[in-house]
Each structure stands twice: as structure tokens, then as C-alpha cells.
Amino acid sequence: MIKTTKLTKSFGEKEVLKGIDEEIKDGEVVVVIGPSGSGKSTFLRCLNLLEIPTSGEVLFNNQIINKKGVNIDEIRTKMGMVFQNFNLFPHLTVLENITIGPIQIKKTSQEEAKKIATDLLQSMGLLDKADAYPNSLSGGQKQRIAIARALAMQPEMMLFDEPTSALDPEMVGEVLQVMRNLAVNGMTMVVVTHEMGFAREVGDRILFMDEGVIVEKGTPKQIFDQPQNERTKNFLSKVL
Ligand code: ADP
Ligand code: MG
């Protein structure tokens, strides 16, 4: 579904991604782990061109998307993104937060957008919050709404950048549960997280990043039970 070849990204003199070759298949759940500053967010943001790669290619469904003439906005609608800090619109209700994308960007009718949003809220147990404003919600509720908002665009894949890192511990579980359900239902997902339990249980593959490269990758069993690289071992010894 998405593939990168020799992907690099520099900010000024600093090369943050140093040639990433990776491929994420339809229906796969790939979890990206690694120390702070290793380039995880930058990698994720290059996949949907929130950051423009310095060199190399990003292919989405076999089409190079980081080249002139590609409609980035259209491609982005196919990749839902969820951030650490929710980024909900504070002046819109929960329902409006979820319907605004489909209505404004996909030209979905009000009625249809409302139906999609209502179904999503129902599936997350948040239907009673449809008319609430984000500020009245808990962090866990806000993040589930943010996921619903991304899903309302009916994306082909979902990118998650530390979706539970800003949450109080007691709210982490409800967000991971929504993500687990998505995974079970076949959504293609790339998830940056420090939740190693989730990574092991839900991930099809783990990528360990350090200093702008994918140092080691494999199944959760391979990475967590038999890491080969010293840097992977060292990182895991600190977080497990
Ligand atoms: P991670 O998500 O693994 O913590 P990031 O991808 O956020 O790492 O950052 C990798 C490196 O790139 C860090 O050193 C960070 O300071 C730098 N960086 C990230 N975004 C920018 C930016 N917009 N401008 C300058 N430097 C950046
Ligand atoms: Mg990050």
C-alpha cells in the first residue's frame, strides 16, 4: 500500500531520516518504536507528505506521490492521521468535528456525513457526546473523537503518532481498544507508540528506529524476545 525508497529528510544541516526503505502492505499493522528524536514522527509525516522528503520516493498504491503534479490533498484524504494532542476544533461540537471533513473536502451531503459520524460515535460508545464541545471531554474521549474524525473520511490507511502519550494512564486503555478493533477489522495502520504491550499484541511487524534509520525489524516475537541488534536490546531493556 505504501512504500518508501531511499527516503531521506533533512532539517537544515541535520539529516533526520537517512535512507529508509520500507513497505507496508494492505491490512498490515506496523508499529514503530525507538528513542525520542530517532525520527519516528518525521518518518510518519513523510508518508502523508506533512513533511516533504529531501530525497527518495514515497509510493502510495504504486504511485510516486512526492513529485510535481500529484494532488497531495487528495492523497491525504486516503491516509487518516491521529496525533498526540488530538487537534480537535474547539469551536465545533463533536458531531461537527467529525462531519466537517467529509462535507468540506469530500463533498459528502450533510445527511450522509451525519450518518457516518453517528455510526462511528455509536461504535465508540460516544453517541451521547455528539453535541458536546471538545473542552468538556476527557483526554481519552477527545482522542477517540479524533480517531472517529479521521475514520469519517473513510481512509485506506491510518497513521498514529503516539496517540496515547498525552493521556492520563487510566484513559490509555480505551483508546488502545479502539485501535485494536480497527486492526482486527483489517485497517492498514502505522503506529508510533511506547505501548509495548499493544505493539506485541496488535503489531504484525515492529520497526525499531534509531538515529534516522530502521535498525531492526521483525515480528513482535523476534523483536521483543530475540532482538539481534545491541541498540534494540539497549532500548528494550529501558522500556520493558
Ligand atoms: P521522534 O518522533 O522519534 O521523537 P522526530 O521525528 O520528531 O523524532 O525528530 C527527529 C529529529 O528531527 C529531532 O532531532 C528533532 O529535533 C528534529 N526535527 C523534527 N522536526 C523538525 C523541524 N520541523 N525542524 C527542525 N528539526 C526538526
Ligand atoms: Mg515523535
Domains of the chain: 2-237 (3.40.50.300)
Rounded (5°) CA angle 33-38-41 = 70
The bound ligand whose nearest atom lies closest to the alpha carbon of 45 is 1
Distance from the CA of 170 to the center of ligand 2, in angstroms? 22
Identify the helix (H) or strand (E) that includes residue 121.
helix 110-123
Per-residue pLDDT tens for 18-40?
999 999 999 999 999 999 999 99
Asked if pLDDT for residue 103 goes beyond 90, the answer is yes
Using a 10 angstrom Cβ sphere, with 0-12 exposed, 13-18 middle and 19 or more buried, the burial of residue 192 is buried
Is the ipTM of this structure higher than 0.90? yes
Q: Is 170 helix (H, G, I), strand (E, B) or coil?
A: helix
Q: Are 138 and 166 in contact (CB under 8 A)?
A: no
Per-residue pLDDT tens for 111-162?
999 999 999 999 999 999 999 999 999 999 999 999 999 999 999 999 999 9
pLDDT at 48: 94
SS3 content of the chain, % helix, strand, coil (to 5): 40, 25, 35
pLDDT at 240: 85
Distance from the CA of 236 to the center of ligand 2, in angstroms? 17
Query: Strand 157-161's sheet: what is its strand order?
Result: 79-82, 157-161, 188-192, 29-33, 205-210, 213-218
Average pLDDT over residues 79-97: 96
Mutual angle of helices 110-123 and 94-104, in 10-degree steps: 130
Query: Hey, which of 9, 20, 33, 41 would you mutate to test ligand 1's pocket, going by the most ligand atoms within 8 Å of its Cβ?
Result: 41
Average pLDDT over residues 76-103: 96
Nearest C-alpha neighbor of 42 from the set 8, 71, 67, 69: 8
pLDDT at 112: 98
Q: Whose CA is nearest to atom 20 of ligand 1?
A: 42
Per-residue pLDDT tens for 170-229?
999 999 999 999 999 999 999 999 999 999 999 999 999 999 999 999 999 999 999 999
Residue at grid coordinates 491490512: 27
pLDDT at 191: 98
Q: Considering the entire predicted model, what is its pTM?
A: 0.97
Q: Which atom of ligand 1 is nearest to the CA of 162?
A: 2
User: Residues with Cβ within 6 A of ligand 1?
Assistant: 11, 16, 34, 36-42
- Distance (Å, rounded) from C-alpha 80 to C-alpha 82? 7
Distance from the CA of 161 to the center of ligand 2, in angstroms? 7
Residue 14 pLDDT level (bands cut at 50, 70, 90): very high
Mean pLDDT over the full length of the chain: 97
Report residue 13 CA to chain centroid gap.
27
